[in-house]
Amino acid sequence: MNTRKAIRWVHLASTVWFMLCTGYLFILALRQAGFNWLVIFSLSGHWALIITLLVSLYLYTIFRGPIKSHSMQKEHPLTSTTYYMAFYMFTPFLGAIAGILSMLGETRFGSILGGVSLGTIGATFLTWVLVDPVTGSVELLLPESRKHRLERLARVKLLKQLEKSKRERLLTRILEQEQENESRWQEVFSPDAARLARLLAADSVNFKAAEKEAIKIGTEAWRTGGLSCMKYLRNMAMDVFKQQYANNDLVDYVSAWWDGIGRWRNPSLLSE
């Protein structure tokens, strides 16, 4: 077990100890205010759930969060050291020791436990809420820390720009490929688009034969270019129908005829 992992487990233990001390003082304050145990247990249950969830999220960031990189260590020369991290993690226990020392000579167990709890909470609040943020802010004011911070931010910005450029190039290639495919489909399937347009205008007597022929055309389009090719051919057929059969009512039989070919699904069936 490496040092950082050991410190994390110590932090888990110290956080649990801090929660126990906080819970003890909470219950003690309610008892001194005159609340009976039934009310205390009722309130403690709700607060225990909330505190457990918050602490679980906090511990997740400690155990699963990324370890500071070498660059971050340069920005925080003190707070990123193992000695400081150990002090930070042991703070609740150090506060408990201070509480015990402050209660020397006291014989009542309740008073001793109260002093230990107050020492734990006081030391933890002072270190975790006041000293640590102030120390980290002061570190960032150092010339060397500011230099490394600016360099790190510049690298992050550059990486984002490179990633954005990569996505844009990929999108451009995809669009170019689509345009090439559509140009090729336009040339290859123009006769089929005209045939589909004629099939859409077929009467009820020839409807079954028209469906069979349309299925053959759709299957060939699927084999050639998949779903995108089928969509493009259908749109071509609709445009031809509107131009050549303007007086006829347009009914999208193609979507129904092709239902089940490859990944083609009839939109009207999906909406039902």
Q: Which of 248, 221, 242 is nearest to 257 (CA)?
A: 221
Contact 264, 230 (CB under 8 A): yes
Counting residues of the chain whose pLDDT is more than 70, the rounded percentage is 81
Rg (CA), the chain: 36
pLDDT at res. 70: 54
Q: If pLDDT is split at 50, 70 and 90, which confidence band does 11 have?
A: confident
* Residue 262, both tokens: 């490859």
C-alpha 229, offset from chain centre: 35
- 49, with CB counted inside 10 A (0-12, 13-18, 19+), is exposed
pTM of the model: 0.50
pLDDT at res. 216: 93
pLDDT at res. 270: 41
pLDDT at res. 19: 82
Contact 10, 90 (CB under 8 A): yes
Phi–psi pair at 177, nearest 5 degrees: -65, -40
Query: Of 42-51, 67-76, 84-93, which has the strongest mean pLDDT?
Result: 84-93
pLDDT at res. 54: 58
Q: Which of 202, 204, 267 is nearest to 234 (CA)?
A: 267
pLDDT at res. 89: 83
Q: If pLDDT is split at 50, 70 and 90, which confidence band does 170 have?
A: very high
Per-residue pLDDT of 100-124, as tens digits, reads 888 887 778 878 888 888 888 888 8
What's the rounded Cα separation, in Å, for the pair 38 and 244? 84
* Residue 11, both tokens: 């932090």
pLDDT at res. 167: 93
7 vs 272 pLDDT, higher one = 7
pLDDT at res. 165: 93
Counting residues of the chain whose pLDDT is more than 90, the rounded percentage is 21
Per-residue pLDDT of 136-169, as tens digits, reads 888 888 888 888 888 888 888 999 999 999 999 9
Q: If pLDDT is split at 50, 70 and 90, which confidence band does 173 have?
A: very high
Give SS3 for 30: helix
Query: Is pLDDT at 64 greater than 50 in this prediction?
Result: no
* Residue 127, both tokens: 């270190």
The type of residue at 197 is A
Annotated domain spans of the chain: 3-141, 189-270
- Calculate the average pLDDT of the chain: 80
Per-residue pLDDT of 27-61, as tens digits, reads 777 777 776 666 556 655 555 656 665 565 555 44
Contact 94, 125 (CB under 8 A): no
